[in-house]
Amino acid sequence: MKKTTIAAAVLMMVLMFTGCGSAFSTSDSVSSEVTSAQTEPEITSAAEETAEAKPAAETSDTGEITAETDELYDFIVSELEQFHQTFTYNAYAESPEIDNAFFTLDDIRPDIFWVNNWSYTMYEDHVDITVGYIDDYSEDDLRRMYNELTARADEIVSMIPEDSTDYQKALSAHDIIIDSTVYDFEGAAMSSTGICATAYGCLVNGSAICQGYSEAYTFILNRLGIRSGICSGIADGESHAWNYVEINNEDYWVDITWDDPQSSSESEQQIIHDYFLINDEILYRSHELGNDNLFVPECSSMAENYYVVNGDYLESYDFDSVAEIMRKYKDTGRADIMFADWGSYEAAVNDLFGEDRIWDIADELEFGDNIYYQNNDHNYVLTVVFR
């Protein structure tokens, strides 16, 4: 029987999962001239917030996000936790402080998922704030949905052994979320994102776009005691969101959306880990940070990277090393190998499949006559599936 190798597209389908937006995609900030408490202010017309308009938050030396005025931020959180839609802050605050508090909320409290937009009128001694609910849900709806979200989060946390390391917890949460979520292509195509861009959409409805995946992952990790946040920007020419995660005092990037296989082919259903705990050098090959991120970590380590931890990361191409990794995964029928640089990765693809040396390994391990492979040119990952 003729032996065949079947090559996949150069980049996996998951790289198409862009077009994601923020849950605050239609946020309005209404401001006014400061007036006395007795005088009705003149309110300017509402203007849609853009990514470029977001103010930066203050950050501590350790990179923790802090609201520019903690008192204002804590007050807004307290009101939203009570599902209040209109409330008054009894002190003076300026527009950047107010907006900053809401944008900080978006990054570090993904459980408060219902804020779609906000407006405010500033007086000399107080600020009147109004919040628009996402998809026009009622207060009763949101109370029910919040309970559903926290119950689902608790269920996921309970599935992860308490004595797991932070790496194991982060990996388990990553895989559980991907396994129980489908990418919402319809939601991604909408001009204004809704519930699919939230942790609720991901964890409860099981359908989300990148913002929803990212908010869900941060929500679960924070409940597990792991520091995590969200960054956004451009990936493959479209808006996109992903996570940063701290493991053993080092920051790493995770793109949980791009690790979701989303394929009807049984051989491709296995969750991938190409974007699990990667460094700056790898992420920036395909992702570009926006200017509006509250905090951007420096991710220089690969010590906790999935491929490094599992012994499937090669500093250079060596046929015997590849053969050894494939022997390790003989019973699973799939081997994923990450290479440190383009030259090593290219050499592996050319030697194994251009020169057909893959069959030397296949014959030894009795893989059969058909081999399917994928190559991820962004992360220098070669995947071989033995049919």
Number of alpha helices (DSSP H) and beta strands (DSSP E) in the chain:
12, 19
- How far lies 157's CA from each of 162, 180, 186, in Å? 9, 14, 29
pLDDT tens across 295-340, in order? 899 999 999 999 999 999 999 999 999 999 999 999 888 999 999 9
The confidence score (pLDDT) of residue 228 equals: 95
**pLDDT string in tens for the chain (387-residue length):** 445 455 554 333 333 444 564 444 333 333 333 332 232 333 322 323 333 333 333 444 444 444 445 899 999 999 999 999 999 999 999 999 999 899 888 788 999 999 999 999 999 999 999 999 998 899 999 999 999 999 999 999 999 999 999 999 999 999 999 999 999 988 888 766 799 999 999 999 999 999 999 999 999 999 999 999 999 999 989 999 999 999 999 999 999 999 998 743 444 568 899 999 999 999 999 999 999 888 899 999 999 999 999 999 999 999 999 999 999 999 888 999 999 999 999 999 999 999 999 999 988 888 777 888 988 999 999 999 886
Question: pLDDT tens digits, residue range 4-39?
Answer: 455 554 333 333 444 564 444 333 333 333 332 232
Query: Is-above-0.85 flag for pTM?
Result: no
What mean pLDDT is reported for the chain?
83
Determine contact, residues 227/219, Cβ cutoff 8 Å. no
Pairing verdict, β 238-247 and 313-314: unpaired
Largest CA-CA distance found in the chain, in angstroms, rounded: 90
Domain boundaries, the chain: 28-139, 310-387
Residue 374: name the closest of 331, 334, 326 by CA: 334
Q: Are 336 and 273 in contact (CB under 8 A)?
A: yes
Check if CATH label 3.30.110 holds for domain 310-387: yes
Give the SS3 label for residue 203.
helix
Whole-number Å distance between alpha carbons of 126 and 129: 10
- Please count the CA atoms within 13 angstroms of the CA of 175 that sit on its side-chain side: 14
